[in-house]
């Protein structure tokens, strides 16, 4: 598990990655605390969110301190994201707990095309899938340990503001980049 202060110190020290989304599985318990802690770091931003486990596959919601209402289905989660001004992202679609081709059935904002825990083949398939849907592609480190932080990242054309970043993701002003994973 990555400790909040460790993540914040690493973001502050990093030469260009200054934003991280905190998306625990099915919980927003730690979001407010790390966002509050981040205020002590003037050039660091934490985006609150959650990764929701649905029977069809995982969906990330960025821009929320709350859980969506149950039952957790992709439709409910995506609708919730829209209702709070957040962004819904199909997580690791071609890996365990990914929804794969079923994602075609849901009105999400983006597809995770570069996941730090997915194989090169799964990431490539996700990239092609997002393109076929006409959706933006994002990166997610899926970091559960410090060594996994910053393995992949997003370049986003936005200001250092949560709403600006979410709008940029939705309009496709994002590119998924890798520090260590061949593409």
As for how many domains the chain has, the answer is 1
Does some domain include residue 128? yes
As a whole number of angstroms, the distance between CA 78 and CA 72 comes to: 10
pLDDT score, position 179 = 86
* Structural domain includes residue 110: yes
Domain that holds residue 107: 51-178
Q: Tokens 């194989």 — which residue?
A: 119
Q: Say how many residues make up the chain.
A: 183
Cα separation, 139 vs 177, in Å, equals 7
* CATH code for the domain in which residue 90 is found: 3.20.20.140
Residues lower than pLDDT 50 in the chain: 182-183
Going by C-beta distance under 8 Å and a sequence separation of 6 or more, which residues neighbour residue 74? 54, 56, 57, 59, 99, 102, 103, 105, 106, 108
143, part of any domain = yes
The Cα 175–Cα 142 span in angstroms is 17
Supply 154's token pair: 């997003």
23, 62 contact by CB (below 8 A): yes
Q: Decide if 37 is inside a domain.
A: no
Which pLDDT score, from 0 to 100, does residue 1 have?
A: 83
Q: What is the pLDDT of residues 52-65, one digit of tens each?
A: 999 999 999 999 99
Task: For 116-127, write each residue's pLDDT tens digit.
Answer: 999 999 999 999
pLDDT on residue 180: 66
pLDDT of residue 167: 98
Q: Taking each helix axis as running N to C, give the angle between helix 31-38 and helix 4-13, from 0 to 180 degrees, rounded to the nearest 10.
A: 40
Q: What are the two backbone dihedrals, phi and then psi, of residue 170, each rounded to the nearest 5 degrees? A: -60, -35
Number of other residues whose CB lies within 10 A of the CB of residue 176:
24
């Amino acid at each position: 598990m990555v400790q909040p202060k460790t993540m914040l110190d690493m973001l502050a020290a990093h030469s260009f990655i200054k934003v991280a989304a905190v998306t625990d599985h099915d919980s927003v318990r730690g979001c407010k605390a790390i966002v509050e802690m981040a205020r002590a770091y003037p050039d660091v931003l934490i985006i609150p969110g959650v990764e929701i486990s649905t029977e069809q596959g995982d969906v990330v919601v960025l821009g929320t301190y709350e859980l969506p209402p149950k039952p957790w289905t992709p439709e409910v989660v995506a609708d919730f994201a829209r209702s709070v001004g957040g962004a819904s992202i199909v997580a690791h679609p071609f890996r365990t707990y990914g929804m794969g081709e079923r994602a075609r059935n849901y009105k999400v904002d983006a597809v995770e095309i570069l996941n730090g825990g997915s194989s090169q083949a799964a990431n490539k398939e996700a990239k092609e899938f997002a393109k076929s849907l006409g959706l933006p592609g994002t990166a997610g480190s899926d970091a559960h340990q410090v060594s996994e932080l910053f393995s992949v990242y997003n370049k986003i054309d936005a200001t250092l503001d949560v709403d600006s970043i979410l709008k940029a993701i939705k309009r496709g002003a994002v590119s998924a980049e890798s520090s260590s994973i061949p593409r």
